Amino acid sequence: MRHTGTVDPLLTVIVPGHNVEAYVDEALASLTRQRFGAWRAILVDDASTDGTGAAFARAAASDPRFTVVAHDRRRGLAAARNTGFDLVETEFVAFFDSDDVLPDTAYERMVGTLERSGSDLVVGAYARLRPSDSDNDGGDGGYELGIVQPWVAAATDPERHGLTLAEHPQVTGNIVAWSKVSRAAFWREHGLRFPDGVLYEDQLVAQQLYVAARAFDVIPDVVCHWRIRAEGTSITQHEAALPVLIACLDAMRSGLAVLAASGIGAAEQARLDLILRMDVPRLAEIAATHQDPAYRSALGTFTREIWDAATPPTRAAADAAALAAPLAWR
């Protein structure tokens, strides 16, 4: 069933923003194009110093479904999301970053799935929006949409409803906030909040969602186009900085701790497998030539921790050559 904007909203979309003037209009336009119209959006301006606040104000003036909230000082992405959540009055809630883009059917598919299944949340796929290389491929300096990566597909394809974490441990590879729609009452029942004052704040919450869910759904549809900013200001583009590395490692640790405490061994091992095969080798390439030995030491300590927690089958699936150096770093 297609809902229109003339009915009471079923979904609140929380859209935090800080200095995203270059992207916010495109993001909000993709929200207004949704085929599912029974939404409202809370736009949280986290003390922007550019035109983000003005863009939010224009959106609210042109569409009553938008509400603007402004922080008087910068408090961070987690706090902005929590501010928005405190104002949710609808049955469903979603988070959408103000530099990304929504396919037109994203919320129609996710809300419709939950209405049919009765599950606590639904998880969709996503693809990256990467800057075009005008020199190499004739691009115009804009962005090109990539494919759904294998680890994303493993979490969401094929479509299944009413799953538990024990039944589908590979869902732990989907660690982002903006590829999901949840029941707001489910968040409140379990006291879920984004951890304030940290980076990679959605990694912990993702695992808490999966562990707490009575049932969740997965769909293979791409529900968000995740922008890799051309000017390099996304946090994931700063992993060579030691504080960012430490925040990344701590976020992975916190998510793994939730899975370990759940007692669902397959879920913990699925997450360990992905980190050992993808995250550690990527970070090890940076560490190998990093000028600060503390970078290698931090990654080495983390790698040994998760290697010790991995079972023999998980270790066997990893690339031994790629892990040899980080396992030896002290």
Tens of pLDDT, residue by residue over 158-209, are 999 999 999 999 999 999 999 999 999 999 999 999 999 999 999 999 999 9
DSSP string, 256-292: HHHHHHHT-HHHHHHHHHHIIIIIHHHHHHHHHT-S-
pLDDT of residue 305: 98
Whether residue 1 is contained in a domain is answered as: no
Whether residue 67 is contained in a domain is answered as: yes
> From CA 256, how far away is CA 194, in angstroms rounded?
16
Q: Which of 142, 138, 106, 124 has its CA nearest to residue 227?
A: 142
> From CA 194, how far away is CA 202, in angstroms rounded?
7
Query: Is 257 in the same domain as 215?
Result: no
The C-alpha angle with vertex 289 and arms to 285 and 294, in degrees rounded to 5, equals 95
Q: Which of 247, 254, 305 has its CA nearest to residue 276?
A: 305
Given a cut of 70, whether residue 141 has pLDDT beyond it is no
Retrieve residue 105's tokens.
């059917």
Whether residue 160 is contained in a domain is answered as: yes
Retrieve residue 146's tokens.
């990539």
Give the model confidence (pLDDT) of 266-299 as tens digits: 999 999 999 999 999 999 999 999 999 999 999 9
pLDDT of residue 7: 73
Query: Is 226 in the same domain as 246?
Result: no
Retrieve residue 139's tokens.
């691009």
| Final residue in a domain of this structure, among 179, 208, 238 | 238
> From CA 152, how far away is CA 154, in angstroms rounded?
5
DSSP string, 108-127: HHHHHHHHHH--SEEEEEEE
Cis amide linkage into residue 9, ω under 30° from 0: no
| Final residue in a domain of this structure, among 205, 238, 271 | 238
The neighbour count for residue 136, using CB atoms within 10 Å, is 7
Whether residue 5 is contained in a domain is answered as: no
Retrieve residue 2's tokens.
């297609």
Across 8-21, average pLDDT: 97
Find the domain containing 53 and state its range.
11-238
Given a cut of 80, whether residue 234 has pLDDT beyond it is no
Given a cut of 70, whether residue 4 has pLDDT beyond it is no
Residue burial 159-193, b: 16+ Cβ < 10 Å; e: rest:
ebbebbbeebbbbbbbbbbbbbbbbbebbeeeebb
Whether residue 118 is contained in a domain is answered as: yes
pLDDT of residue 229: 84
Domain count, the chain: 2
Retrieve residue 166's tokens.
């024990």
Query: Is 203 in the same domain as 299?
Result: no
Query: Is 246 in the same domain as 234?
Result: no
Give the model confidence (pLDDT) of 117-132 as tens digits: 999 999 999 999 999 8
